[in-house]
Structure formats: C-alpha cells, structure tokens
A and B are shown apart, each in its own frame.
Chain A
Amino acid sequence: MPDFDVLVLGGGPAGVNAALAASAAGLKVALFDENTAAGGQVYRAPIDASVPLTGGRQPGDALRHELAQSAVATYFNHVVWAVTTDYRVDASGPAGPMHCTGRALIVATGTTERVVPFDGWTTPGVIGLAAATILLKSQGILPGRSTLVAGCGPLLAAVAAKTLEGGGKVEAIADMAGLGDWGRTLPAMVSRPDLMLEGFHWWREIRRAGVPILSRHTIVKVEQARDGLLATLAPCDAAGRPVAGKRRSVVADCIAVGHGLTPSTEITRLLRAEHRYSRQAGGWIAVADQDGRTSRPRLYVAGDGAGIAGAAAASHHGTLAGLACAIDLDATETTQFRSRVPAVRQLHVKAARFGRAMAQLMALRPGHVDSVGPQTIVCRCEDVTRAEIDAACDAGAHDVNQLKAWTRCGMGPCQGRTCADVAAELLAARVHGGLREPAGCFSARTPLRPMTVEALTGDFSYDDIPIPKAAPL
C-alpha cells in the first residue's frame, strides 16, 4: 500500500496548484521542494517579511497561504535524489534521509537558466540573471555597486529595474533581441495587460535612470580588471552571432547574464518517459497531453518543466495535472472536478500565450552557440573547452553521451545541468546538420543531486548495526 496517492515534486506555482487540485479531489498528497517555502523561482519567498518587494509578491503569498490551509503534506528543505518507476521517492531533509511511495507522480521541477559561454564567463562575479533576481527579490542584496545586465528575455528588464529600485547602478543593458523581436511579442502581450504594464514600468524606470540600452548586442568577453570586471560587448545579428561593428567596454562589479531557460527533465528522463526536442519550449520536454499526462501511466508533468510558458500558465497547468491525476486515480470527488477541466484549459491556453511569446525571445540562437570561441570553457565543472568538444565530434562522437564519455563534458558535479543544452547544440551543428534529436540528451542518473554518503546514511551508531553470529565452521 503506497504512503500517498500522489507525490508532487516541486513547490512552484505548477506543483502547488497540482497538489491543491489533487488534494481537493480527496487524494492524499505529499509535496517536495528543496527550498524553505513554496513559490518556486518567480514567487520565491523573501527571507524576511520586510524585504522591499514589488510585483510577484501577492501571488506567492496567496499560494503559500492556500497550501498551508490544505491537507497536503509538505516536505520543504528536502532534496529529492532518487525516483523509481514504482514511484518511490528518496529525499534528504533536515532530519536526514527519508523515502515514501505514491500511486502517481506529478513532476513540476521548473527550469534551469541557460548561459551560452563566452570568454571569462567562469570569472567570479559573473552570475546568472536568475541568481541576480534571487539576490534582489529574496535576499534583499544588490548584485553589485555597479552591474552590467546582458542576455535576452524579460529578466533583463526585471533585474535592471529592481537593481535601480534598490539604489544600485546599472552600467548598461545588452539585449540580444532587437526592437522588432519585442514588437512581435506585442499581440501576445496585449492578452496580459497587467504584465505588459509591469514591463513598461520597468523600462520607464530604466530610461529615467539614463541606463544605456544596447539592442542587438551580446557579451563576448569578460576579464578581471583592477577596478572590477571588464566586459566587451559586440553587436550581433538575429541568430545571435557577433558581427562587425563597434565593440564597447563596460566595467562593473557584477555581470548578470542569462540566455533563457531550459526545462528540468531529469526525473522524467530517469523514468524513461518519452521526450521530444522543442526549441520554442526551451529544449527537451516530456511528451504529454494538454493536461500533463506523459507516456508513462500515472506520471504527469506540469509548469515550465513541461515547456516554458511562464508562471501564470504554470499555475493553470498545475491545476490541470492535479485534476487529470484525480480523474485517472478515480478520486472520490472526481465528478464535480471533471467539469472544471475545460474552463481551466481555456485559462491555461490564454496565459501560455504571453509566456510563450516571452519564451520566444529567450529561445536558443544557433549562431550564438556557433560563435563560442575554441578556447572558451563550455563545461564549467570539468573545464572542457569548445575545441575539445569539436575534436570529439570530428573523431566520431555521435551523441552527447559519447561526447560525455570522451571529454568528461557534463560528467562533473552539476551533472550537465549547466552545459547540456549548449554541448548538444554544438554537437548537433557539427555532426547532424543542426538537428537536435539525433544529438540526444545526457542520460539522467541517480543521485539526481550530488550527495555525501553521510547524507544518505543519516545519523547512526555502530552499536546499532546488528552483527550476525559467525557461522559455525
């Protein structure tokens, strides 16, 4: 008899709403997250109630309140390190190792930020845009006295505006997208006037502060200088490739850079669910119906981890997965919930329109990856360069797992989360004419996060280990 009906992995808007929907339908639900509170990245809880915040705050608070009022068993501060095909979840928490089983599993593990490598991107002080967001929104700390914001997507404006609001200086914003790219998102933006207004507010604050906005520019190099980090910016084309034109130098304490998000699919890949590659969705995603049912029975995906569509869409997608799970498990209250599905689907489609337009701005640009220099490190954990990856491809590495075996790219402690998308893009371009499917993706392995043996065994005394009597000779 499983411990729970449903295990939900991930406490962002998708996971929480999935848990709430399944719980309301009468199912016994447990939710796991490695953070201290629900909210995920977008609705991340501040460490201190008095941290000044704008936007994003209310949905997170409402989410946390609703979860606290529900019957969902929550396991925060728990790192899930193994999941089996019979839906046993092993986690490491503050009280040591634990495990439980469920009849069904909902995976709502969100995304990882993608940073396309450039010379010097491993220099301390260069951080992800998402990392800068956490510093500002959750920790109440500025990324630097002066910050350069670079990359693509809506996080550029969010990080710059919140840095200014906090009293910091933004040296420049280098946006890979051009004005035309932003213009193409307008029809979708109109569907969410609230978010569009927030965006306009950010850009107005940025303009008012006189921050130089370099449209169609990309960061090509960072060096350690006496007075901070020296970044070189270059104009780029629509494919993200640096082109001839004026190089600009910017000195800043901190460089916050991000090139979009990739869905975190370790768990569904580990469970051998069917996956497909979608550049628009952010990368490899589990094949699923619109309510999140995957190719495996009673395994569901929800939210950005199922394909980038934004936090608002993730909430509805979570509800859909929770309802789908309740219907499939024949929960006691199913009849009244079945009727909710069409309305939630409509809400999801509408919310996803905005999120997917933003995802479009953040999709991986092939020319950008192609411009990575031969001596630039691609795999940070193992210091594997582009030239080493190219050499392995030329020597016959046919997919990323061969590449990993030959070069150690993706074999380090981050388990490929940081480099997988770029390494696969490089291999696909060199070996498969740009097709990502034959390049594959890294095999998911347990432990899903690096674990110490101590964390797995928990506290024990040697005296407690039963020693069997020696067998008679």
Chain B
Amino acid sequence: MLNQKTMRIDNAGRGATIGFFFDGLTIPARIGESVAAALFASGTKTLRTSPRELMPRGMFCLMGSCQECLVMVDGRRVLACRTTVADGMRVEKVPEARIDA
C-alpha cells in the first residue's frame, strides 16, 4: 500500500530508511533509491536552472539521457538519477544554479 507521507509504495520488509542532505536539508530515502527519485518523492523537484534563461529544471528522463538532474555529490558533478543514495550523503546544487532550495 501507499505511504501517503513519503509517496512510497509500501509493503513489509522494505529497505531501511536512511537520510541524506540536499543543500543542508535532511531528506529521507530508502536504501537503494536513486538521489533523483528520493528528492522527487520528498517534493524537491527543482534541482538547477537552465544556463540561458535561468528557468527551473528538475528530473525528467530518469535514465541518464537528458542530463537535467545534474547535482554535486561530495564535490563531484553527477547525475542524480544515476547515483544511489547513501546515509549521510551530501548533495548540493551545481554552483551555477541560481536558485534557493
């Protein structure tokens, strides 16, 4: 069944809940989820801005093609959809994204 609060389709024996940080805010996730999916489920949909018009952008294809979910993890540029969350992981917006969390 659905856990209304977390948007996760729940059943017994799910992976444990862990926490990571997005621009300092604690985001809950389950072991194995991608950073992009965990952020999307938490309602954090804007991840960066487009370079020319500075328009908000977020996860779009979720399979490593569109490059919209580019974020910084431990100081490296990675795609949030291709990065598995880890407990205590520090995720930040790319420096050129001119938006607040």
Chain A: residues with CB nearer than 8 A to chain B?
A: 34, 36, 41, 47-48, 50-52, 79, 112-113, 122-128, 130-131, 134-136, 139-142, 144-145, 166-168, 377, 380-383, 412-414, 417-418, 449-450, 452, 454
Contacts and interface: CB of A to CB of B under 8 A. Distances in A.
A122 B8 contact: no
A34 B82 contact: yes
Nearest to A419: B66
Given A48-B14, A135-B40, A141-B9, A130 B76 contact: no
Tell me if A's interface is mostly helix, strand, loop or mixed. Answer: loop
B1 A167 contact: yes
Contacts of B57: 122, 124, 380
Contacts, number: 123
Contact of B11 (A36, A41, A50, A124): A50
A125 B62 contact: no
Interface in B47-101: 47, 50-53, 55-68, 70, 76-77, 82, 84
A79 B65 CA distance: 11
Nearest to A44: B63
A34 B64 CA distance: 9
Nearest to B52: A383
Contacts of B76: 452, 454
Given A141-B37, A142-B7, A124 B62 contact: no
A437 to B, nearest CB: 25
Nearest to A449: B64
A112 B37 contact: no
Closest 3 CB pairs of A and B: A167-B2, A124-B58, A47-B32
A41 B4 CA distance: 27
Interface string B23-63: 00000001111100100110001110011110111111111
A111 to B, nearest CB: 10
A311 to B, nearest CB: 15
Interface residues of B, number: 45
A381 B67 contact: yes
Contacts of B60: 126-128, 131, 380, 418
Given A122-B50, A141-B7, A454-B76, 12 more contacts: A50-B11, A50-B12, A79-B64, A124-B59, A127-B62, A142-B9, A167-B9, A383-B50, A383-B51, A383-B55, A412-B67, A418-B61
A130 B61 CA distance: 7
Nearest to B6: A141
A269 to B, nearest CB: 16
Contacts of A136: 9
Nearest to B2: A167
A50 B77 contact: no
15 contacts: A34-B64, A48-B31, A112-B65, A124-B45, A128-B62, A131-B61, A139-B37, A141-B7, A380-B57, A380-B66, A413-B70, A414-B65, A414-B66, A418-B60, A450-B67
Contacts of A140: 8-9, 14, 30
A124 B56 contact: yes
A357 to B, nearest CB: 25
A122 B66 CA distance: 11
B65 A417 contact: yes
A412 B70 CA distance: 13
A125 B15 contact: no
A51 B30 CA distance: 12
A162 to B, nearest CB: 9
B46 A141 contact: no
A141 B40 contact: yes
Contacts of A79: 64
A41 B12 CA distance: 26
Contacts of A36: 84
Contacts of B47: 124
Given A113-B61, A125-B58, A130-B62, A141 B52 contact: no
Nearest to B55: A122
B56 to A, nearest CB: 5
A144 B59 CA distance: 13
B37 A135 contact: yes
Contact of A135 (B31, B62, B65, B84): B62
A257 to B, nearest CB: 10
B59 A131 contact: yes
A48 B15 contact: yes
Greatest chain A CB density within 10 A among B9, B11, B82 is at B9
Contacts of A145: 4, 7
A450 B79 CA distance: 10
B77 A452 contact: yes
B94 to A, nearest CB: 11
Contacts of A131: 59-63
Contacts of A167: 1-2, 9
Contacts of A127: 59-62
Greatest chain A CB density within 10 A among B2, B15, B47, B57 is at B2
Contacts of A452: 76-77
A411 to B, nearest CB: 11
Contacts of A417: 65-66
A92 B70 CA distance: 17
B9 A166 contact: yes
A356 B77 CA distance: 39
